[in-house]
Amino acid sequence: MGKRILLLLFSKAIVLCFALSLSGLNAAIIDTELHNQKVVQIAVTDIPISLSPYATDALQDQFSHLFFDPLVRWGQERKLEYRLLAKLKTINKNKTRFYLKKNIYFHSGNVLTSKDVQWSFQQALNNKYLQRKLQHKIKITPVNRYQLDIETSLTQPQLLDYLTHLFVLDSAYYQKNKIEHNVAQSALSPPITSLPLSGTGPYQVASYYSGVNLRVQANTHYWQNQPMYKTINFVKIKSPESRLYALLADDIDISESVSSKNINSVNFLEDKNVYQARGANALFLTVNELNNDLFNRQTARNAIHLAINQSGILKHILYGTGGVYDRFRLDTSQGVAPVYDAKRAKYLLGKIGAPKKMSLLVKSDPNSYTDEVAFALINMFKKVDIQLKVIKVETEKEWNLFQFNHDFTLSVWQSDLVEEGNVYHDIFSNSLLSGYINAHFNKQKRSLTMNEKIMLFEGYQLSDYIMPLFSRNKVWANDKQFDLQTVFSVNAIPYWHLLTVNKKSTP
């Protein structure tokens, strides 16, 4: 009798455990379904006016990665991830064979082939900005349906870094529909049943108002894992204050580009969070000896460095959203701001007879605090008895016309390249500093190799003339239910299909 009771109790315990585990499983399924049904609201600074990565006004990278895949991309911690690429093989010094993953489908249903890669590369070369990135001699030749050879004088790491910006398009679909990459889309009313877009990416367009709103839905035939959040709605809110208010009012879930001044108002809230993504960017001040012979003297350059309170700029303008720029070695290679000593600077400038009036050319960039920094520099130069006149320009054309006519220049440089050689090439060729830097290179009166240019740029001669004031992080704010740690690459690009729930915030 006692054995029967024990068996009965044991059986009930098993049934109860099974019921509890089943309820836990059901809860997990329900939780997953709730996340799948959640429409994530993201406020961004701009919505594209074209849905092509190769248009003149091309998609930002965060949008391109929604619809298209590159062969490779940067993940976190400088790790290169194979996307459409299965493997590669070095044929010789200048030739690499690329093997594509098989059975990957475009949104149209067409299968990815090596011809799509070759065709997409030709489309990329029609974009002036991408021409700068891909101006090296790169030749792509299909070998068969899933293999292609790429010939270039670039090193393999350099080539792969550039290929992170080659998004592969459905060549048959684009050619059949005669799609023009440089034609901006008009504002269209949802639902949209057809758009000039076919990639292999994790999302497809659900609705699109050009320059206003973009809603995307998960691509159910995506070749990789399905994203946790099936629908994302991007809405343009231009003002950083308005984006912040929308977040605090729970009208949006994630906000791009939060002002450094407003970070504390987010951090004080238990249900909100701030995430800082660090990319390759810097605000550079140049001391232009090409306009002012005084700066050919070491004493004058030293005095200017002493006159600038770089730590003060970091504290009172960035509010902890950046730091001393250390991507290039230059003067700040140890991540320490140069010494600030206004009294010593004033003495040195007076001793050498520095002029009482000087000029600063500023390339305005509202997202990089150029106006605030220019105002701070005016006050710093007052302390050393120099009246600084600020001239602002809005366009690159104006900059190129006037950059050599002023004692100082202030400009922003940023790059989404990662490989060191490519980063140096980018600032030497594609930045607002290019003209000034190359003027220094031309003083050598002979052609310099890239290594010689890098040594000159990092060394004593050029580092005295160029001061990276700071590097600014890309600051996002979000509801704590989301985990942005999983989303951002080493070059600060968000891959939204990787967005997950923040387990720490769930009860």
DSSP string, 395-429: SHHHHHHHGGGSSEEEEEEEE---SHHHHHHHHHH
Cα 84 from Cα 223, distance rounded (Å):
10
User: Has residue 464 got a pLDDT over 70?
Assistant: yes
- Give the residue carrying structure tokens 């105002």: 375
- Examine residue 191 and say whether the peptide bond preceding it is cis (omega within 30 degrees of 0): yes
Read off the pLDDT of each residue in 441-461 and give the average, rounded to a whole number.
83
Q: Check whether 328 has a pLDDT greater than 90.
A: no
Burial class (CB in 10 A: 0-12, 13-18, 19+), 87: exposed
Q: What pLDDT does 503 receive?
A: 76
Paired sense of beta strands 272-277 and 387-393, if any: unpaired
Would the CA dihedral through 142, 147, 152, 153 be positive or negative? negative
Instruction: Report how far residue 451's alpha carbon sits from residue 461's, in angstroms, rounded to the nearest whole number.
Output: 15
* pLDDT-above-70 percentage for the chain: 85
Q: What is the pLDDT of residue 16?
A: 40
Do residues 197 and 67 touch, judged by C-beta distance below 8 A?
yes
The DSSP secondary-structure symbol of 256 reads S
Answer whether 398's CB lies under 8 Å from 391's CB: no
Taking the C-alpha atoms of 417, 421, 426 and 428 in order, what is their torsion angle to the nearest 10 degrees? 160
Mean pLDDT within 331-340:
57
pLDDT of the residue at 184 = 64
CB 43, CB 247: distance < 8 Å: yes
Asked if 87 contacts 175 with a C-beta cutoff of 8 angstroms, the reply is: no
Q: Quote the tokens at residue 350.
A: 């007076």
458 confidence band (pLDDT: 50, 70, 90): confident
Tokens 């997950």 correspond to what residue? 500
pLDDT score for 186? 56
Average pLDDT over residues 271-286: 89
Helix (H) or strand (E) holding 92: strand 85-92
Average pLDDT over residues 68-72: 98
Confidence band of 227 (pLDDT split at 50, 70, 90): very high
Q: Please state the rounded mean pLDDT for residues 7-17.
A: 40
Choose among 233, 232, 124, 231: nearest CA to 174. 124
Q: Which pLDDT score, from 0 to 100, does residue 156 have?
A: 94
Helix (H, G, I), strand (E, B) or coil at 93: coil
Q: Give the tokens for residue 402.
A: 């006037």
Q: Which of 322-326, 460-464, 488-492 has the lowest mean pLDDT?
A: 460-464
User: Average pLDDT over the chain, rounded to whole?
Assistant: 86
Residues 6 or more apart whose CB falls under 8 angstroms from that of 312 comprise 340, 376
**What distance in Å separates the CA atoms of residue 133 and residue 423, rounded to the nearest whole number?**
10
Cα–Cα distance, 477 to 479 (Å, whole number):
7
pLDDT of 327 above 90: no
Q: Are residues 409 and 361 in contact, defined by beta-carbon separation less than 8 angstroms?
A: yes
Find the mean pLDDT for residues 168-177. 93
Q: At a CB cut-off of 8 Å and minimum separation 6, what does 71 contact?
A: 82, 83, 84, 85, 98, 117, 163, 166, 168
Query: Reduced to 3 states, what is the DSSP secondary structure of residue 162?
Result: helix
List C-alpha distances in Å: 131 to 59, 121, 164, 395, 426.
Answer: 16, 10, 14, 20, 12
Of 177, 235, 202, nearest to 40 by C-alpha is 235
Of 99-108, 185-194, 433-442, minimum mean pLDDT range:
185-194
CA-to-CA distance for 379 and 387, rounded, in angstroms?
A: 9
Show the tokens assigned to 298. Answer: 């070491």
Q: Give 90's strand partners.
A: 96
Comparison of pLDDT for 185 and 340, the residue scoring more:
340
Provide the whole-model pTM: 0.86
pLDDT score at 90: 95
The answer to whether residue 296 scores a pLDDT higher than 80 is: yes
Contact, 87 vs 178, CB < 8 A?
no
Q: Token pair for residue 131?
A: 């021409």
Report pLDDT for 312.
92
Please report, for residues 165, 331, 474, the alpha-carbon distance to residue 190 in angstroms, rounded to integers and kept in the order given.
30, 54, 32
Residues 506 and 446: their CA atoms lie apart, in Å, by 63
pLDDT band at 357; cut points 50, 70, 90:
very high
Long-range (24+ apart) CB contacts under 8 A made by 117-123 are: 117/71, 117/84, 117/142, 117/148, 117/166, 117/168, 118/142, 118/148, 119/169, 119/171, 119/174, 119/175, 120/166, 120/167, 120/168, 120/169, 120/171, 121/166, 123/54, 123/169, 123/174, 123/181
Rounded to an integer, the average pLDDT of 95-116 is 97
Which residue spans within 229-300 are E strands per DSSP? Answer: 231-236, 254-255, 272-277, 280-287
Q: What is the mean pLDDT of residues 371-393?
A: 97
